[in-house]
Amino acid sequence: MAGKERQVTLRFLAEPTDVNFGGKVHGGAVMKWIDLAAYACAAGWSGRYCITVYAGGIRFVRPIMVGSLVEVDAKVIYTGRTSMHIALAVSAGDPTTDKKSLTTHCIVIMVAVDKNGDPTPVPEWIPQTEDDIFLRDSAISLMDMRKKISVEMEAHVAVLK
């Protein structure tokens, strides 16, 4: 089983097919790129097929223009028994320069699964630097917040049914 690659950067060229009615890259395209990078990162760390179980806190900071070079940086910031919390940052800019600006950021949780689709253990990630400890602690704090939000969301689901 391969594994232990903690971070990955994927690059895309924002194409005309990615445009929304406002002339900018639509959020759905950005979310697809985020999911692809999260998968690549989680599979690289765990050496397993992984599925997305949560994407949250997606913050669109600025629009992406067609023709921009888009970079999606993904990094493992916390591991559970079968899950990996991946921090993602999307940056974009003119492909003829090195200058990129943050456009979007979020957290995605991926779960490693076996050939039957059942959750399977992942290697533990242990923070080594102060920045890594901060990221791990932030992921833990976000887990606590998600539990509270989940309870609130259940009330909405009940009303929508």
Q: For residue 89, how far is the Cα from the chain centroid?
A: 8
pLDDT at 146: 84
Q: What pTM did the predictor assign?
A: 0.91
Rounded CA-CA distance 103/24 in Å is: 12
Residue entry with tokens 């591991």: 79
The stretches in the chain having pLDDT less than 50 are: none
Residue 97 is classified by DSSP as S
CA distance 130 to 112: 27
| Predicted pLDDT at 149 | 84
Q: Are 75 and 34 in contact (CB under 8 A)?
A: no
Q: Longest C-alpha distance within the chain, in Å?
A: 51
pLDDT of amino acid 3: 64
Among 55, 60, 59, which residue's Cα sits nearest to residue 39? Answer: 55
> Which domains, from first to last, does the chain contain?
7-160 (3.10.129.10)
Q: Answer positive or negative: Cα dihedral of 35, 134, 147, 110.
A: positive
102: its two tokens? 């943050």
